[in-house]
Amino acid sequence: MPDVIEAASSGRAKCRACQQKIAKGELRFGAKVPNPFGDGEATHYYHLICAADRRPESFRETLAATELEVPDRTELERVSQLGIDHRRLPRAARAERASSGRAQCRHCKEPIGKGDLRIALEYIEDGMASGGGFIHLGCAQEYFGTTELRGRLERTSPKLEAADFEELAKVLT
Ligand SMILES: [Zn+2]
Ligand SMILES: [Zn+2]
């Protein structure tokens, strides 16, 4: 089954990227993934913008094929293209304060100080997300090849506070 863009038939499904509910009637992206518990497929749902962030290639194809009237189509195309051009970008899962000083940055291999803002990485393979470690905020440009991460991190990091977002804004665009 191909992936789909469709109106949400209920308001119960949570977005796999930002973990927030997708409103009933809102357009959503449904990614078909192998069912881990047996035969057939399961569907993972995303807000459209979150799918552009995290599943850029399949989302881009599905967007090009849909006959639905999609709001903000140009922006969705731009964001998914960014993730196609910068292949590590879809791994940026969220920003958070380091809970300990033990994690090592995946880019520069130096430790990430306790309480520092860091970017958590997540790989999606066969539809399943797995933790991929962390990088320093300051290593974003070299690791991702772009600093255009603010929008996606703000969407997926509801626990951060205004001061944290100000700190992100100093480094990221
Ligand atoms: Zn979302
Ligand atoms: Zn680093």
Q: What is the pLDDT of residues 143-166, one digit of tens each?
A: 999 999 999 999 999 889 999 999
pLDDT tens digits along 83-102: 999 999 999 999 999 999 99
Q: Please indicate, yes or no, whether residues 101 and 165 belong to a single structural domain of this protein.
A: yes
Q: Is the pLDDT at 1 greater than 90, yes or no?
A: no
Q: Distance, CA 143 to ligand 2 centroid (Å)?
A: 9
Based on the domain organization, do 104 and 164 belong to the same domain? Answer: yes
Residue 126 has pLDDT above 80, yes or no: no
DSSP category for residue 105: B
Residue 80 CA to ligand 2 centre (angstroms): 25
Q: Does the pLDDT of residue 129 top 80, yes or no?
A: yes
Same domain? For 105 and 68 the reply is no
Range scoring the smallest mean pLDDT among 3-12, 94-103, 115-124, 126-135: 126-135
The predicted-structure confidence for 3-58, as pLDDT tens digits, reads as follows 999 999 999 999 999 999 999 999 999 999 988 778 889 999 999 999 999 999 99
Q: How far is the centre of ligand 1, averaged over its atoms, from the C-alpha of 110 (Å)? A: 31
pLDDT of residue 55: 95
Which among 140, 78, 142 is positioned nearest to 153, based on CA atoms? 140
Domain count, the chain: 2
For residues 111 and 138, membership in a common domain is answered with: yes
Residues 49 and 99 in one domain: no
Q: Do residues 80 and 40 share a domain?
A: yes
Same domain? For 152 and 103 the reply is yes
Ligand of minimum distance to the alpha carbon of 121: 2
Do the Cβ atoms of 113 and 81 come closer than 8 Å? no
DSSP H helical ranges for 42-149: 48-54, 56-65, 73-85, 140-144
Domain boundaries, position 156: 89-171
| Average pLDDT, integer, range 59-78 | 97
- 93 lies in the same domain as 74: no
Residue 36: predicted pLDDT:
76
Residues 157 and 100 in one domain: yes
**How sure is the predictor about 122, in pLDDT bands with cuts at 50, 70 and 90?**
very high
Q: What's the CA-to-centroid distance between 12 and ligand 1, angstroms?
A: 13
- CA 21–ligand 1 middle distance (angstroms): 8
**In the listed set 51, 85, 119, which residue is the last one of a domain according to the structure?**
85
Identify whether residues 39 and 76 lie together within a single domain: yes
Confidence (pLDDT) at 124: 84
Hey, how many other C-beta atoms are within 10 angstroms of the C-beta on 51?
A: 29
Based on the fold, state whether residues 48 and 106 are members of the same structural domain. no
Ligand 2 mean position to 104 CA, how many Å?
8
Q: Select from 85, 105, 121 the last residue of a domain.
A: 85
List the structure tokens of 114: 């306790």
Picking from 45, 61, 85, the residue at the C-terminal end of a domain is: 85
Pair 100, 80 in one domain: no
How far, in Å, from the CA of 130 to the mean position of ligand 2? 20
CATH code of the domain containing 126 = 3.30.1740.10
